[in-house]
Amino acid sequence: MNKEIYNALLSLRNNSISVDEAYNSIVSLYNSDLGFANIDMMRTERTGCPEVVFCAGKTVEQAETVIADIHERGKPVLATKAGRVLAKRVQVRFPEAGYDELGQILSLGTLCNEEKRQGLIVVATAGTSDLPAAHEAVRTAEFLGSRVKLICDIGVAGIHRLFSRLDEIREARVIIACAGMEGALAGVLAGLVSSPVIALPTSVGYGASFGGLSALLGMLTSCAPGVSVVNIDNGFGAGYQANLINRS
Amino acid sequence: MNKEIYNALLSLRNNSISVDEAYNSIVSLYNSDLGFANIDMMRTERTGCPEVVFCAGKTVEQAETVIADIHERGKPVLATKAGRVLAKRVQVRFPEAGYDELGQILSLGTLCNEEKRQGLIVVATAGTSDLPAAHEAVRTAEFLGSRVKLICDIGVAGIHRLFSRLDEIREARVIIACAGMEGALAGVLAGLVSSPVIALPTSVGYGASFGGLSALLGMLTSCAPGVSVVNIDNGFGAGYQANLINRS
Amino acid sequence: MNKEIYNALLSLRNNSISVDEAYNSIVSLYNSDLGFANIDMMRTERTGCPEVVFCAGKTVEQAETVIADIHERGKPVLATKAGRVLAKRVQVRFPEAGYDELGQILSLGTLCNEEKRQGLIVVATAGTSDLPAAHEAVRTAEFLGSRVKLICDIGVAGIHRLFSRLDEIREARVIIACAGMEGALAGVLAGLVSSPVIALPTSVGYGASFGGLSALLGMLTSCAPGVSVVNIDNGFGAGYQANLINRS
Amino acid sequence: MNKEIYNALLSLRNNSISVDEAYNSIVSLYNSDLGFANIDMMRTERTGCPEVVFCAGKTVEQAETVIADIHERGKPVLATKAGRVLAKRVQVRFPEAGYDELGQILSLGTLCNEEKRQGLIVVATAGTSDLPAAHEAVRTAEFLGSRVKLICDIGVAGIHRLFSRLDEIREARVIIACAGMEGALAGVLAGLVSSPVIALPTSVGYGASFGGLSALLGMLTSCAPGVSVVNIDNGFGAGYQANLINRS
Amino acid sequence: MNKEIYNALLSLRNNSISVDEAYNSIVSLYNSDLGFANIDMMRTERTGCPEVVFCAGKTVEQAETVIADIHERGKPVLATKAGRVLAKRVQVRFPEAGYDELGQILSLGTLCNEEKRQGLIVVATAGTSDLPAAHEAVRTAEFLGSRVKLICDIGVAGIHRLFSRLDEIREARVIIACAGMEGALAGVLAGLVSSPVIALPTSVGYGASFGGLSALLGMLTSCAPGVSVVNIDNGFGAGYQANLINRS
Amino acid sequence: MNKEIYNALLSLRNNSISVDEAYNSIVSLYNSDLGFANIDMMRTERTGCPEVVFCAGKTVEQAETVIADIHERGKPVLATKAGRVLAKRVQVRFPEAGYDELGQILSLGTLCNEEKRQGLIVVATAGTSDLPAAHEAVRTAEFLGSRVKLICDIGVAGIHRLFSRLDEIREARVIIACAGMEGALAGVLAGLVSSPVIALPTSVGYGASFGGLSALLGMLTSCAPGVSVVNIDNGFGAGYQANLINRS
Amino acid sequence: MNKEIYNALLSLRNNSISVDEAYNSIVSLYNSDLGFANIDMMRTERTGCPEVVFCAGKTVEQAETVIADIHERGKPVLATKAGRVLAKRVQVRFPEAGYDELGQILSLGTLCNEEKRQGLIVVATAGTSDLPAAHEAVRTAEFLGSRVKLICDIGVAGIHRLFSRLDEIREARVIIACAGMEGALAGVLAGLVSSPVIALPTSVGYGASFGGLSALLGMLTSCAPGVSVVNIDNGFGAGYQANLINRS
Amino acid sequence: MNKEIYNALLSLRNNSISVDEAYNSIVSLYNSDLGFANIDMMRTERTGCPEVVFCAGKTVEQAETVIADIHERGKPVLATKAGRVLAKRVQVRFPEAGYDELGQILSLGTLCNEEKRQGLIVVATAGTSDLPAAHEAVRTAEFLGSRVKLICDIGVAGIHRLFSRLDEIREARVIIACAGMEGALAGVLAGLVSSPVIALPTSVGYGASFGGLSALLGMLTSCAPGVSVVNIDNGFGAGYQANLINRS
């Protein structure tokens, strides 16, 4: 129940305000921020993630200001694509800040208590070079309250490595398959497990990889159902979506 | 428990076969089909979808033969990208076959009992022209055992239409956002709801749509987290993934 | 003033309803359609174009139903990418319907009275083959209430043809430059006139035109300022935007 | 009236020159620069923008020379894509030069008096990272004589932010929608306002953004009419076109 | 000497018109068609090709009307991308019309007398499938007055075939190298002859040919200097350019 | 030893011809065809494939003429991309012609005796829809003298199917991996076998397959070494290359 | 014979374990690593190349650790895309390491004894700028046990250079054709020799080379059969595949 | 007449060598370099350009060695894409070397005497930023013996600038039109002059210029005949082709 509307009605009922005053009060809520701030608050509760700071394209000063502002309002912060210089500055100011340099991701606080953690998310990578995107996914999902396990270097060029970890992978409620080059890991996994697979293409590779395009197209056109795809190198998006599914 | 292995062991225990016979019997299973048929059976139980027939690129004769073969082995069949000619031939042979011409999708039997149906999947379309992909998604998810609701024509060009259906959309455990052109529906929905959004780009549009590329890129690069994407016009993949999430 | 909210408040004031009844009445408006229907009505008044039917990707039956529905609610209708079969069916039902086959555009009624027509829009084409997109632009802008003049075949390969029509072109408040191939007409015009130029790339051409891509890129990268671009073959969008500018 | 032609005719009439001298005098104007300088002068009056210097691809020396040359002829100068080194050198030489480092845009003088300023241009950005292109647009339109208001960070991922600023946006005669990634801001705004929207795609994003391609395609294929698009990161072009429309 | 300007000056000198009348008379020439019609006439004499009709994108009726109109004004006509239906209709009306079905090119009259023909143009094709573009080039250059020799099927996959025709090829003043697939013929020829090579990529091929893109890129990036390229399947453009060079 | 040169020298030695006659005789060989006909004959012996007719882009008449000409010179013929109409006409004329309609490939005669057949080529397909390209590969390699085994429908979405055929696949000296969509079959196989893998991408798929581009890029960027790739749908090229390797 | 399964059966036969214990023991093998570790060992023996380290995308520390680990387990190591800094660090630690700076490739040990070397691989380059990819190919094939000959600068722009080396090239059992720009070398060579050609496109070039795309497409669409293609700049892949063919 | 063959025949005739000696002598010429060296010498005479050094992709040391080697054999050298460091090193060694830093082009000697210079080549640029490619073209054509005139900054955004230089442009026998962005200069010029136009697209621009792609496509698809195109930024190729045409 929206208290501001209800109070206005009570005041009207009590004759402490006129019909016109009540009308204006209610309509101003509707016409300005209240209605959509309501949406906003719903959004906060719903996503468990009030503010994520995308640092690419921001100056170090801009990014630092935004992070400090959120933190000082008492909310947890997650900042992605955060370079080492920014991280140093934030950690000087807030020593409790955590920074994963490989994943270029920085956090202040967390959104969950230990007991909220639920189903397992497995982040599987094809190779060592996929680790930056994978780390971004791991840190994001952990920040949002999921348990995460990282399983590295099980690309399909040596498919036995994948099979030897299959039992662990099958424990996941959601799987993030992180691969560059031809991106076949997603489709092969989706054919072997019963969980939804979030495919995370990476820009690992050269030549006809065209910055991750080959992995992206391969994952989109996988003949194995049960795969959906996020943007190239978007570890944050993969971790976020996996957490949503895990929580649902 | 695998009965063939267990029976071989019992026979050995009962001395009705020798150690070498038992060994050969077990290893032949492992070395040939049994082991992987075992995987196959696990797969069947897991996905709830033993065989899906992708009819594009197959002749009508090939597709009909595959469908009949699965059906006659007593299993439910789902056939996608199925043209009207194929559907007519299948329905003459198996009058119980269902066909959704808009979605170009044909089914024989179903994988679930009424009581298995669980959380709701909402399939939302930006416009009427997105209905073919949306229908494919709806029929796929229903075939796999999910309850599905189709909400049409709520594209962002008239965003009030989207808001007027928001309560219904928020009831979904998973949302499929189906749109062509700029594909903005996915990102806007993801910013308004708490469920994971499966973005289904369609080839609706012309010119710089480039056969769905504009919607695909837009959905992949959405600044709203909580979106993952399937191939252009891949209603089957969207319905399948949504059902996996719904069931998890 | 929103009458429904105001009446609810009056009723509360008159004690004919309770506070809770008033609250529910107001909030139901807010939570459902009223607020956004308000937006809707503003939209109708604003754009002067309540409903435009994009027929591509719709079946003939779907398109006819939508057109008839709008028309029977007493509103003017504009339908784009409308094929000849659809047009015939609509004209049988509503003989007053107008159809421009070259532009594949169909109209029932108009949005303006003669006296509303204002500044001139010039639609200039590089060649005869650009006429389909140009016609769509002309009919759209006329339907929305603008005066329009079509000047054909003044492509830059014979730039004297352009100069001989320059006085006419300069009378326009807005210019639509419609060209395929290298699309140079837009930039050349923008360097010669004082009005904003809406560039309308067409898919005319072959080979490295790549379905209009060459014209699109050329128009986007024109070194002459004062050009903005719509989608390839999007005569409707060009006419609509030109009318908005003309009216502003 | 062209004074040089008229004076030649007067001289002929006064017999101070012969027919052949008059002929040569007039034709030399026509054959060389006069005729087109006439066009040039019309152009100057028309666009209110005699010379804009595009600094990318020029050496610092070339750019500085051109800027100084225009300035010293007494005309206002606008220089885009101007780096910090160039700006420093120009400001040392002409301390009155203004420089917006975020927008990489430099100006010397202005084209308008305060009283010429007319309708409002709103420049709306989806996120903080879109500010460089937005600043270029703001400074360009101001230089050309328009009032401009910058509204930041109202991207569609949190659509309530957009709604809370809608009243301000609706005051604009022209809107510039500046966004990277999926670029949905343009289409959503166009569905909510009655003014023409100039879509300004930015190269903000990574992976499948492909340097702004995703935003560009999304904006071109928007299903909301009333949108036209300029080149990726072309804040200058957007500001210029908005000013043309504002002035028309 | 422009007679109209001169006569106006004479009239002024003779006092038969006033200075203002003379001024208006001269300026009206400048402002309207006279000056640029002058350009037009120069163009006609220069190119030897008053009107070429590009039939693609025109209806049969439009194309026939344009062809008949030019022909009836007594000028030779060349019509490219002309289908068989159009050709039949033109030949019924003008039996002297020539039609090359393979090249989809139609002509009425010619631009040269036998004695004007000069240096030789060789049109070389990689394979039989390149003949449509090659024929368009041959007929265009012949229509414009050049001698042309067609040498077929000398693609680099069997480079001895090319060598056995090398003496003939070396007689050419200009060579058109017509090839699809990898388009290597242009670069190999340019390394063996002393004449400029016009590379004519064709859309022959499939898969990664992408409609002629592979040949186009290959020809543009040839490491042999002396190659310039026209659009894919643009036999007309190749023949036209070769004739210009031949004539220069 | 070249008899024609040697005989000329003997004649010179015997004084039956002069030095100039000998010189001209030798140089004419060099300047005309002899040298390169020599290359030609080496080519015939080497490739075992004197003439392959690529029928796409040829008229039925052209293709039939070429096929008949080669056949009547007593040589075996292979014709690819041969439609049903052409095949019918050839079979009426030469009833011994073989035609594989799925592979669109036609043959007259063969290049090998049974005893020449050597190592095995395995052609593996991901799905039924890949059969056209696979058949073209099979027929080409058989025509050229290799033993070939076709193994269908072992795509990685159900990787157990692949494992159950692995022993058969491992018998091959060369493997052709034929797949559309993400094309992962090539990389997975290359990680499991010791033979070179020729990857044959097919245009099977839709949406982001972009006519085979996804499979092509995936195969080119496979992280498993031992893969090389031919053009999309180029079954002929794959079969030809496999036979070369098999024979070496 | 698998000892663990056999021993379990013997124990059952001897009554030292129960049927259930035997069952669990066997099935646990099947479900975990044993079967696929077997695949692993086959892989090692088969490829003659236990581990190749792809250094791009790894930190110097990661790469060094992996190289040292393999080396210290007594196996030969090949590391590709290895920068100078990494090479220095490895050579300080293991002075016997070989480094080819042009090819950015580092090796420790080798996989063959001198007597294992067999057929010749020729690596041919179009120009000096193709040497980096060529060196990577040469070093890879040598490491894997093949004899290799490098023939430089025989691009088709001066085709006589190619002919003067043709005898040497014909001695090869496999040819690697390494070229950027239009990549014609592969097709021309394949038309002149009897060996399979591995086409290695390089990113040499600018403009429409688009990072090697022109060479890649040209090589894929070559009209000469007998060519298969690896990724752009993938010298490692070319050398690996050539060695596989050479060894087969 | 080939002296080596003729002398061998004379020696045979004089009995100073045997038939076998004569045969071996002649065949060795034919089988090795002689025949193709003959081609080589023809090539040198023909192109007037024995060696051009493409420095991109070469180390400074490699480039310097090649340049010095050619120079020391007494031949003129042209080196393109030559950086400042290389130029400094060459000029220290050979002070007579000329270097155009803007065009990144270096020359030692020249191929012509003053009296050989013939028809004029005009190199026209759209803007100042196109100068690097234009300078490369100018220096190349001058080196090869043509007279060249550079006309800058006549892009179509201010088409009067082009008209005021038209008389100069029309004096050219060949025109090089050098432009980035939409590249419209080539088509506009071709419609105004009678000479062949070599279109030289440049990578000037940003966003949808995609590194010169927009100019390239625009020039290829120009509706004005008489245009052929070289690679993006390939000033050398444009100058070379223009000189060939000029000389023919």
The predicted structure's pLDDT at residue G245: 92
d(CA H78, CA H85): 16
The predicted structure's pLDDT at residue G51: 66
Mean residue pLDDT of chain F comes to 84
E39 inside domain = no
* Same-domain check for residues H126 and H239: yes
- Flag whether B touches D (3+ CB pairs, 8 A cutoff): yes
Chain D residue at shortest CA distance from E22: D9
Cβ distance D216 to H208 less than 8 Å, yes or no, reads yes
SS3 H189: helix
Is E33 at the interface with chain C, CB within 8 A? Answer: yes
d(CA F131, CA F141): 15
B53 inside domain = yes
Any idea what DSSP says for residue D105?
E
Cβ distance E217 to G208 less than 8 Å, yes or no, reads yes
Cβ distance F245 to G52 less than 8 Å, yes or no, reads no
What b/e readout covers F23-61, taking b as 16+ CB neighbours within 10 angstroms? bebbeebbeeeebbeebeeebeeebbbbbbbbbebbebe
Is D92 at the interface with chain B, CB within 8 A? Answer: no
Selection from B181, B94, B205, B197 nearest residue B137 by Cα: B197
Amino acid at site A217: L
Identify any residues that bridge with C122 across adjacent strands, giving them in sequence order. C149, C175
d(CA C56, CA B209): 13
Q: Which of D162-166, H81-85, H114-118 has the lowest mean pLDDT?
A: H114-118
Cβ distance H5 to F13 less than 8 Å, yes or no, reads no
- Band of residue A8 on the pLDDT scale cut at 50, 70, 90: confident
Res. D17: pLDDT tops 80: yes
Subunits with 3+ C-beta pairs closer than 8 A to E? C, D, F, G, H
Cβ distance E220 to G214 less than 8 Å, yes or no, reads yes
- Band of residue C38 on the pLDDT scale cut at 50, 70, 90: very low
Strand segments, DSSP code E, in chain F are: 52-54, 77-80, 98-100, 105-108, 120-125, 147-151, 174-179, 197-201, 227-229
* Same-domain check for residues A130 and A212: yes
Which of H163, H180, H204 minimises the CB distance to D36?
H163
Contacts of residue B193, defined as CB under 8 A and 6 or more positions apart, other chains included, come to A46, B166, B169, B170, B172, B175
- Band of residue H218 on the pLDDT scale cut at 50, 70, 90: very high
The mean per-residue pLDDT over the stretch G138-146 comes to 92
The predicted structure's pLDDT at residue H47: 53
- Band of residue E219 on the pLDDT scale cut at 50, 70, 90: very high
Res. H220: pLDDT tops 60: yes
What token pair was written down for F4?
A: 């024609």
Res. F30: pLDDT tops 70: no
Mean residue pLDDT of chain E comes to 83
C40 inside domain = no
* Same-domain check for residues A153 and A198: yes
Q: Which of residues 47-66 of D touch C (CB under 8 A)?
A: 47, 49, 52, 54
What token pair was written down for B192?
A: 């308004």
Q: For chain E, what is the domain count?
A: 3
Res. E143: pLDDT tops 70: yes
Chain H residue at shortest CA distance from C227: H157
Separation in Å, CA of E105 to nearest CA in chain F? 17
Chain E residue at shortest CA distance from G126: E223
Cβ distance D157 to B187 less than 8 Å, yes or no, reads yes
Looking at A62, A84, A108, the residue that finishes a domain is A108
* Same-domain check for residues B153 and B123: yes
The predicted structure's pLDDT at residue F178: 97
Q: What is the ipTM of this complex?
A: 0.79
Long-range contacts at F87-94 (CB < 8 A, ≥ 24 apart)? F89/F60, F89/F64, F90/F64, F93/F64, F93/F68, F94/F68
Is D95 at the interface with chain B, CB within 8 A? Answer: no
B102 inside domain = yes
What token pair was written down for D92?
A: 């040392």
Is F6 at the interface with chain H, CB within 8 A? Answer: yes
Which of A40, A62, A231 minimises the CB distance to D208?
A231
The predicted structure's pLDDT at residue F112: 63
Cβ distance H57 to G128 less than 8 Å, yes or no, reads yes
Amino acid at site F33: D
Tell me which residue range forms the domain holding E19: 1-33
Characterise H211 by phi-psi region: left (phi > 0), alpha (psi -120 to 50), beta (else).
left
A144 inside domain = yes
The predicted structure's pLDDT at residue A35: 27
Res. E47: pLDDT tops 50: yes
What token pair was written down for D93?
A: 């030489």
Report yes or no: D105 and D140 within 8 Å, Cβ to Cβ.
yes
Looking at D85, D108, D131, the residue that finishes a domain is D108
Res. D1: pLDDT tops 80: no
Is A103 at the interface with chain G, CB within 8 A? Answer: no
H72 inside domain = yes
Any idea what DSSP says for residue H179?
E
- Band of residue E27 on the pLDDT scale cut at 50, 70, 90: low
Q: Which residues of chain B have pLDDT under 70?
A: 1-4, 26-51, 112-117, 248
- Which among H32, H49, H202, H240 is the top mutation candidate for probing chain G, defined by the most G β-carbons within 10 Å of its own β-carbon? H32
Characterise B233 by phi-psi region: left (phi > 0), alpha (psi -120 to 50), beta (else).
left
Cβ distance E127 to G223 less than 8 Å, yes or no, reads yes
* Same-domain check for residues D101 and D128: no
Selection from C222, C224, C135, C225 nearest residue C176 by Cα: C135
Task: Give C43's contacts in chain B (Cβ within 8 Å).
Answer: 158, 160
The mean per-residue pLDDT over the stretch A117-129 comes to 88
d(CA C165, CA E32): 8
Q: What angle do CA F150, F151, F153 make, to 5 degrees?
A: 130
- Band of residue H34 on the pLDDT scale cut at 50, 70, 90: very low
Is A244 at the interface with chain F, CB within 8 A? Answer: no
B39 inside domain = no
Res. E160: pLDDT tops 80: no
Is B191 at the interface with chain A, CB within 8 A? Answer: yes
Task: Give H164's contacts in chain D (Cβ within 8 Å).
Answer: 32-33, 36-37
* Same-domain check for residues B228 and B242: yes
- Band of residue D49 on the pLDDT scale cut at 50, 70, 90: low
The predicted structure's pLDDT at residue E29: 47
Which is higher by pLDDT, A110 or E165? E165
Which of H39, H43, H228 minimises the CB distance to E229?
H228
- Which among E13, E29, E39 is the top mutation candidate for probing chain D, defined by the most D β-carbons within 10 Å of its own β-carbon? E13
Pairing, β A98-100 against β G52-54: unpaired
The mean per-residue pLDDT over the stretch A164-186 comes to 92
The predicted structure's pLDDT at residue B34: 27
The mean per-residue pLDDT over the stretch C130-156 comes to 92
Subunits with 3+ C-beta pairs closer than 8 A to F? A, B, E, G, H
Task: Quick: pLDDT tens for D116-135.
Answer: 557 899 999 998 889 999 99
- Flag whether C touches D (3+ CB pairs, 8 A cutoff): yes
The mean per-residue pLDDT over the stretch D223-242 comes to 93
What token pair was written down for A217?
A: 């197209």
> Residue D226 is part of a domain; what is its CATH number?
3.40.50.1970
* Same-domain check for residues H73 and H118: no
The predicted structure's pLDDT at residue E149: 95
The mean per-residue pLDDT over the stretch D143-169 comes to 86
* Same-domain check for residues E104 and E118: no
Task: Quick: pLDDT tens for E60-88.
Answer: 988 898 888 888 877 888 999 999 999 99
Task: Quick: pLDDT tens for A19-36.
Answer: 888 877 775 544 333 222
Cβ distance A160 to G31 less than 8 Å, yes or no, reads no
Looking at E108, E125, E145, the residue that finishes a domain is E108
pTM of this structure: 0.83
E103 inside domain = yes
- Cβ neighbour number for residue D219 with a 10 Å cutoff: 34
Mean residue pLDDT of chain A comes to 84
- Band of residue C35 on the pLDDT scale cut at 50, 70, 90: very low
Task: Give C38's contacts in chain D (Cβ within 8 Å).
Answer: none
Is D163 at the interface with chain A, CB within 8 A? Answer: yes
Q: Find the helix packing angle between A19-31 and C3-13, rounded to 10°.
A: 140
Task: Give H127's contacts in chain D (Cβ within 8 Å).
Answer: 54, 57
SS3 G166: helix
The mean per-residue pLDDT over the stretch C213-227 comes to 91
Amino acid at site C242: A
* Same-domain check for residues A87 and A126: no
* Same-domain check for residues G189 and G235: yes
- Flag whether F touches H (3+ CB pairs, 8 A cutoff): yes
The mean per-residue pLDDT over the stretch F96-104 comes to 95
* Same-domain check for residues B98 and B120: no
Is F167 at the interface with chain G, CB within 8 A? Answer: no
d(CA G229, CA G219): 7
Task: Give A129's contacts in chain G (Cβ within 8 Å).
Answer: 54, 56-58
Separation in Å, CA of D87 to nearest CA in chain E? 38
* Same-domain check for residues E205 and E172: yes
Cβ distance E160 to F36 less than 8 Å, yes or no, reads yes
Chain D residue at shortest CA distance from B181: D221
d(CA B7, CA F189): 34
The predicted structure's pLDDT at residue C57: 82
